[in-house]
Amino acid sequence: MSGATRYTIGELARRTGLSVKTIRYYADSGIVPPTDRSPTGYRLFDAAAVARLELVRTLRDLGVDLAAIRRVVNHEVPLHEVTAAHAEALAVQIRVLRLRQAVLAVAARRGSGPAEVDELHRLAQLGTRQRGQLVADFLASVFAGLGDQPAYPGVLVSMTPELPDDPTTEQVEAWLELAEVCRDPDFRARMRRLARQHAADHDVPGLPRPDAVAVVRDAVAPALAAGVDPASPAADPVVAAVTSRYASLHGHSDNADLRRRLLDRLVPANDPRRDRYLDLLAVLNGWSTGDATAPAVDWFIRALHARMPEPVH
């Protein structure tokens, strides 16, 4: 072994790119002890020490603490155990950083003041149970008393967001916005009215559950894309198709009363927040985002108003 290559601390620094001070610290702390000493007393290191130093540098670059590194290089613990534990610790830190990034991004986008930043941070910190309770309170408010309706248990499930254990920044931002929408009293009231109207429609014996919004969305889409004025004669066939379809679902004639009833169903649905809730739900649950319904509903409401008889005074 006397002929084996030996390196001084200066030579190690040139080979590894580490500073002399850092290598001396590792040597003094016993992490990379010298192999030998020169006749003049300089510390010398062999090829194994070079490899050991390379491992130390790599682990330090990955953020592993020196105490854990010492145990690895001294063969007190397997390398894979240390890397696995450190990877898990980093995963936790990354989740925390994503939450912070989302809060800061939303606050910056809105120009939030101190109170709103504090509230966003609080919402981001909610645990799984607390998030679930917030959404459950919203849905309970919207669907209270409708649990015996055949379709509503499934609707409740489909409207429940599930923030993943390891969410993306986009999902955290979606959660922050959805939580605020859920707590909006006006939005709750609109959704509650819409749910009760749907329940009343669904209670028609022997008929499938009508969905006025879906009927309007599908029928109006071509006219909306073509830029048809809802008050113009060109809109007449669209209005006739929707009202006839809705009338057939209810076993009624297409008349002014039915059109008023249809308006009564569509006005609460004409809320961009409804579309936004569904879009945020899709982001959180990893679903594809559907087409917005509010533009079509708004178009059809204006078309119906243009064709309703003037009230008698």
Quote the pTM value.
0.65
Which domains can be identified in the chain, with CATH numbers?
Answer: 9-76 (1.10.1660.10), 126-307 (no CATH)
Percent of the chain topping pLDDT 90: 29
CA distance 152 to 196: 11
Per-residue model confidence as pLDDT tens digits over 8-20: 999 989 888 889 9
Q: Which of 105, 164, 165 is nearest to 283 (CA)?
A: 164
CA distance 249 to 276: 28
Average pLDDT, the chain: 85
pLDDT at 1: 45
Beta bridge partners of 45: 7
Q: Which of 155, 117, 160 is nearest to 135 (CA)?
A: 160
The average pLDDT across 273-300 equals 87
Per-residue model confidence as pLDDT tens digits over 56-106: 999 999 889 999 999 998 889 999 999 999 898 888 888 888 888 888 988
* In the predicted structure, residue 55 carries a pLDDT above the cut 70: yes
Non-local CB neighbours of 42 within 8 Å, separated by 6+ positions: 8, 9
Q: Which of 277, 261, 242, 244 is nearest to 198 (CA)?
A: 261
* In the predicted structure, residue 313 carries a pLDDT above the cut 50: no
* In the predicted structure, residue 197 carries a pLDDT above the cut 50: yes
CA separation (Å) from 180 to 167, 183, 185, 299? 18, 5, 10, 28
Task: Show the tokens assigned to 75.
Answer: 């063969």
Which three-class secondary structure state does DSSP give residue 54? helix
